[in-house]
Amino acid sequence: MARVHIKGRDGIELDIDALPGTALMDALRDANTGVEGTCGGMMSCGTCHVYVQADWLVRLPAKSQDEADMLEAIGEIVPVKPTSRLSCQIAMTEELSGLHLEIGPPT
């Protein structure tokens, strides 16, 4: 299991476990954090937007152009930061245990 430390939209912090090999979005959705994942991980809704703690960004795979485009699109609705990621594009691994993030505002 990979442990993920989350700051919710309400400011409450919690830790959840995510199975390696699954999308972070699934773990966040299943833990009722407010992440919806409406499009099922196809990068077409932005409802899985999170802010990753800056020091963790270098440990994640780079954003694809499609992910960058979706983040740009939702930037018209919600604040997008340099640390913004779509959690559907983060495949959990044991190496990501300890990941810190904040749930983005609803889109």
Q: What is the CA radius of gyration of the chain?
A: 12
Strand order in the sheet with 13-18: 13-18, 2-7, 99-103, 49-52, 84-86
Q: What is the CATH number of domain 2-103?
A: 3.10.20.30
Q: Where are the beta strands (DSSP E) in the chain?
A: 2-7, 13-18, 49-52, 84-86, 99-103
Domain map of the chain by residue range?
Answer: 2-103
Q: In this predicted structure, what is the pLDDT of residue 72?
A: 97
pTM across the whole model: 0.96
Q: What is the pLDDT of residues 7-36, one digit of tens each?
A: 999 999 999 999 999 999 999 999 999 999
Q: In this predicted structure, what is the pLDDT of residue 84?
A: 98
Going by C-beta distance under 8 Å and a sequence separation of 6 or more, which residues neighbour residue 59?
A: 95, 96, 99
Interatomic CA distance for residues 23 and 16, integer angstroms: 13
